[in-house]
Amino acid sequence: MARFPARSLLVTAAALALAGGCTAPAAAQNHAPAARSVATLPATTVPTAPTAGAGALSSRPAPAPGRVSSRLWPFKRLYNVDYVDVRDIASRYGLRAVWIVSGRTMHLVDERDRVRLRFVSRDRDFSLDGVRVFMGEATVFNKDSLYVSRLDVIKTIAPLLGPADYAGQLPAPPRLIVLDPGHGGNDPGNQNAALHLDEKAMTLDVARRLGKLLEARGYRVLLTRADDRRVELEQRTETAGRARADLFLSIHFNALPSAAAGRVTGSETYVMAPRFMLSSGAEAKDQLTDVAFPGNRFDPANTVLGFALHRRLLAQLKSSDRGYKRARFVVLRLAECPAVLVEAAYLSNNLEARKVAAAAYRDQIAAAIADGVDDYAATLAALRR
């Protein structure tokens, strides 16, 4: 493995036993329709930064309290859920709605007839610029159009298509980044026995490579673990909180049971599920769904960050798109800054695992994540200008 440069700022707080699940889209729920109404975007405020603890390395303030744009989203009550007409989304962002399969598939295209978004009735995911994005509720067909849930519009689609509407809730570009190599110590994470690969070793190696790249681009970098040791999940986010980090990146590699291991490849990216939204793949609420966690204070930033990283992973690794997803993993829900968890590849697939075993491919993973961070930072910088 490459040795991390001496100038790097390393915090040893250690390893994780975090499982990143792979989930397929859930089927649409069956409910019954009601009347059309009008609602505003929720007025969520941004908290002040946590008080720096002893030895804090950054005094970076949180963004000033602000409110999301109050522009109206018309909605209709369908199946006990508030839904927004896809045609209204098209109108808001200067796009044109086109039926590809009547009652089933609709594209939103720009003035050059380029497909920006693709919605399919009963699917829990949609496509944005060719990237697969998961929602909390399935798209539904009603009368002459398709509808997506108002929560998915407010928390996912609108921040991606119009981040300027959320400028009051978006932070300044990141300077201090905490990298979290998954697993470690007596927790090897996912393994490929045939190739003698442990997830814990691969995540640490990628984090070291990524740290070098980020430092070369002017960011400050901390690691939750600098060697092969176990760090509890809460300690990982505490490392970022004490340092008052601007960004938390948790690095992982995926796996499936042996029956499906040989068939599935690709990358997936997770950010914190907004309050009241189902995690990707969940078909019903659980005890965490309606709870407001610290990570929810950064919903708009999480949305922009996760998409930027996932898009780069797909483009630069040429990997299968397993989806940009939502979850309530401990390191996401307790994060005191924008946070993302990346599942870069499948160790359970021998072909993909052989790629991961090569240092050159781990360099590509690190470069893709670094470029995604740069994209996210550029978006924030443009909004501040």
Q: How far is CA 156 from CA 36, 134, 166, 228, 322, in A?
A: 22, 9, 12, 36, 17
Lowest-confidence pick of 3-7, 182-186, 255-259, 325-329: 3-7
HSE-up of residue 125 (Cα within 13 Å, Cβ side): 21
Tell me how far apart the alpha carbons of residues 258 and 79 are, in angstroms, rounded to a whole number: 38
Residue 336 near residue 343, CB atoms below 8 Å: no
Instruction: Give percent of the chain with pLDDT exceeding 90.
Output: 79
| CATH 3.30.457.10 domain range(s) in the chain | 65-167
Residue 263's pLDDT is 87
Residues with Cβ within 8 Å of residue 193, at least 6 apart in sequence: none
Q: What is the mean pLDDT of the chain?
A: 85
If you average pLDDT over residues 219-238, what whole number do you get?
97
> In CATH terms, is domain 65-167 a member of 3.20.20.70?
no
Give me the residues paired with residue 97 across strands. Answer: 108
Out of 20-29, 56-65, 85-94, give the one with best mean pLDDT: 85-94
Residue 43's pLDDT is 30
For residue 10, pLDDT over 70 is answered with no
245-281 pLDDT, tens digit each: 999 999 999 999 877 777 899 999 999 999 999 999 8
Residue 303's pLDDT is 98
Residue 260's pLDDT is 75
Q: Is 326 left (phi over 0), alpha (psi -120 to 50) or beta?
A: beta
Kindly state the tokens that stand for 247: 């960004």
If you average pLDDT over residues 222-229, what whole number do you get?
97
Residue 71's pLDDT is 54
For residue 9, pLDDT over 90 is answered with no
Residue 81's pLDDT is 95
Instruction: Give percent of the chain with pLDDT exceeding 70.
Output: 81
Residue 88's pLDDT is 97
For residue 66, pLDDT over 60 is answered with no
Per-residue pLDDT band for 59 (boundaries 50, 70, 90) equals very low
| CATH 3.40.630.40 domain range(s) in the chain | 176-384
Tell me how far apart the alpha carbons of residues 50 and 383 are, in angstroms, rounded to a whole number: 24
If you average pLDDT over residues 116-134, what whole number do you get?
98
Lowest-confidence pick of 63-67, 123-127, 212-216: 63-67
* pTM across the whole model: 0.82
336-347 pLDDT, tens digit each: 999 999 999 999
Lowest-confidence pick of 178-187, 261-270, 375-384: 261-270
How big is the chain, counted in residues?
385
Residue 118's pLDDT is 98
Lowest-confidence pick of 44-53, 66-75, 308-317: 44-53
CATH fold group of domain 176-384 = Aminopeptidase (3.40.630)
- Per residue, the 3-state secondary structure of the chain, as one string, reads CCCCCCCCCCCCCCCCCCCCCCCCCCCCCCCCCCCEEEEECCCCCCCCCCCCCCCCCCCCCCCCCCCCCCCEEEEEEECCEEEEEHHHHHHHCCCEEEEEECCCEEEEECCCCCEEEEEECCCCEEEECCEEEECCCCCEEECCEEEEEHHHHHHHHHHHHCHHHHHHHCCCCCCEEEEEECCECCECCCEECCCCEEHHHHHHHHHHHHHHHHHHCCCEEEECCCCCCCCCHHHHHHHHHHHCCCEEEEEEEECCCHHHHCCCCCEEEEEECCCCCCCCCCCCCCCCCCCCCHHHHHHHHHHHHHHHHHHHHHHHHCCCEEEEEEECCHHHHCCCCCEEEEEEEECCCHHHHHHHHCHHHHHHHHHHHHHHHHHHHHHHHHHHC
